[in-house]
Amino acid sequence: MILNYKHHHSKNKTLIFSLLSIYLFITALSLSYIINKFDNTTPNKNFHKTKANNFKSSGYWVLEPFLINDDGLGNYTWQEAALEPWCSGNGTLDNPYVIKNVLINARNAGSCILIYNSTNVYFEINNCTLYNSGPNIYDAGIKLEYTSNATLINNNCSSNKHSGIGFWMSDNNNISSNNVNNNGVVGIGLWSSSYNNISENTAYYNTWEGIGLWNGHDNSFFNNTLNNNAYGVYLGTYYGTTYANTISGNIAKYNTYHGICLWDNYYNIVSQNIAHNNSGSGIYCGYSYYNTLSGNLANNNTSNGIYLYNSDWNKILENDVNTDFIGVSVGTNSDFNIILGNTATHNRQDGIGSFFNNNNNIFGNIADINNDHGIYVKACNDTLIYNNSMMGNGLNNANDDDGINNQWDNGTIGNYWADYGSVDANDDGIGDDPYIIPGTSGSMDNYPIWEDGDDLIPKITINSPIANQFFGSIAPTFNIIIVENFLDTVWYTIDEGLTNHTCYGLSETINQSEWDKKESGPVFIYFYANDTTGNVGHAELMIFKDIGAPSSSIFFIPYEGDNIVNKSTIFTLNADDGMGSGVSVIMYKINDSDWNYYEGSFNLSSYEYGDYLISYQAIDEMGNIEEIKTIIVKLVKIPPSKYIPVVFIVTGVSLGIGIIGIAFIILYKRRR
């Protein structure tokens, strides 16, 4: 009996020990599950070999933020990343690593994708959506640091707290065709980076810069659209130097400060850009030297078309600066600049103004039909001004106040003055008497350009329309001035001479039937005038016909599926008018509500759950209205977290097993 008792006692002890072990194991498993569930809402900041979870949703890989560093200190090396389904290639020029179709929400901390110290491989980031990166200056949707040989293309890096795309000490990279909108500071930012190409990107509604560069050289910024930012393009310095960059073919409109801004820069080329309707200047140069600004259109800016401040040895060449406050303004302490071949008309004050500076050259410009002066010089010394045209200006064609030794001719030729009151008796094209410049400096033009015989061709000046002006389906009117004492006939053509229309006055409307034949795009108007001896003069300008509507689009990130959203989903509308007159407004409405003017991103937080029809359309500056576009979204409630009931079930089972074990022990002791 004793042996049986011990044997029975030993079996019971073993059974009890087994039940307690199972209980402890299940309890530990439950606690681990709870800890992991609550911890996974915080992005991994350690970056030490933590792999991103891979989920495929609506064509995108939904990942956590990650770092690629071939030194082995990140989430991946490039070879490790290439083993993931969202990365391919082998890093060669012909077969670069490609990260594609990735969606990352950084939850307002750190960068979505960070590539660090990658200089020996080629890689591409393509068609990724990266948002909610952190507010630190070092955070971005895509950040490259000490990195080369990258191509970033067709990505949407919008709605980040600081930068959409950020480069730090990174050279020889390409950024093309990305959307970088609504970012907290800058759309595309480069710090201490050189030899990069940034082209055909769209940067709207960024709090500060559409594109910004601080310290760098030989970067190229081509054909980007940079509207509704504080600055379209900003090139500055930050304890370094910025020089020899090229800004060309960009569109910078409706920016809060300046379309293009150079601050403490050297030897940059700014050419063929459109900088219209900015609240500051179209192009602004401060403390910048040896830059060339050429062939730009800078019209209808609140301040100046082009403005130099404390900037020396710059060239301002062949720009169109119309309907600004001052077309070209050469400001305080801006010396030894060349202002050549610019057209500065219809400005609210002066065509060209020069203030408190020395040794500038102003020649070969058209400064006609401005509200105050064609050229105004104030407190300037040793300025050379010649071969400019000044006619039809409101106060005086020119004015020279408080200056010393300003020369209004170069010793052989002066300027054309429409109000010159003398004669050219010898028909040499130079007036026989000086032209006295109004103002306190006592200046004069000793060789005014003038002709009063019939041996010179008629001179035609086009007052309106102005170059590059947009019109809709109604034919524009024109107003011209002709300088010719023996005028015979005036005519124009808009089809390169196939059909000529005789003018019976100097203010008429372009033939409507001929205008109707023109498609949207540039229209060239050629005006001709002959005199009684057969001399023919001509003038031409290019305007634009815009009868096409703009195109709008809506962007949002679904909660799940294609169009399933929740109350925190952000909807953003964008519109583009291509080469048209520009987008005037975007309208939208929800279901059958009244139309709303789009002024910024919106959500459906005030709506009940269900299906909603969002309608939207854009209208351009010419009143062309886009057909209404619609999208149906389903607004759903975010379900409660599903893991809590599971935890309760697991914990309950664990407690049940524990209670059974304890009960068994008690029962056993009682029987004993």
The model's pLDDT over 565-614, given as tens digits with 9 standing for 90+, comes to 999 999 999 999 988 889 999 999 999 999 999 998 999 999 999 999 99
Span of 309-313, 375-379, 520-524 with lowest mean pLDDT: 520-524
Tell me the percentage of the chain whose pLDDT exceeds 90. 78
Is residue 30 over pLDDT 70? no
Q: What is the CA radius of gyration of the chain?
A: 35
**317, 295 Cβ separation under 8 angstroms:** yes
**Which pLDDT score is estimated for 398?**
98
Burial class (CB in 10 A: 0-12, 13-18, 19+), 102: buried
Is residue 490 over pLDDT 70? yes
Give whole-number Cα distances, 158 to 130, 171, 203, 390, 526, in Å: 7, 23, 9, 48, 45
Q: How confident is the model at residue 657 (pLDDT cuts 50, 70, 90)?
A: low
| Average pLDDT score, the chain | 89
Q: In terms of Cα–Cα distance, which of 75, 81, 169, 62 is closest to 124?
A: 81
pTM of the model: 0.71
- CA torsion 44-46-49-52 (nearest 10°) is 10
**CB under 8 Å to 285, separation ≥6 — which residues?**
261, 262, 265, 291, 293, 306, 307, 308, 309, 311, 314
Pairing of strands 225-227, 246-248: unpaired
**528, 503 Cβ separation under 8 angstroms:** no
Reduced 3-state DSSP string for 489-505: EEEEECCCCCCCEECCC
**Which pLDDT score is estimated for 428?**
86
> DSSP labels for 228-279?
SSSEEEEEE-SSS-EES-EEES-B--S-SS-SEEEESEES-EEES-B--S-S
Is residue 26 over pLDDT 90? no
Determine how many CB atoms are found less than 10 A away from the CB of residue 29.
12
pLDDT digits (tens, 9 = 90+) for 635-646: 998 876 544 444
pLDDT digits (tens, 9 = 90+) for 291-327: 999 999 999 999 999 999 999 999 999 999 999 999 9
Q: In terms of Cα–Cα distance, which of 557, 523, 535, 452 is closest to 488?
A: 535
DSSP β-bridge partners for residue 168: 145, 191
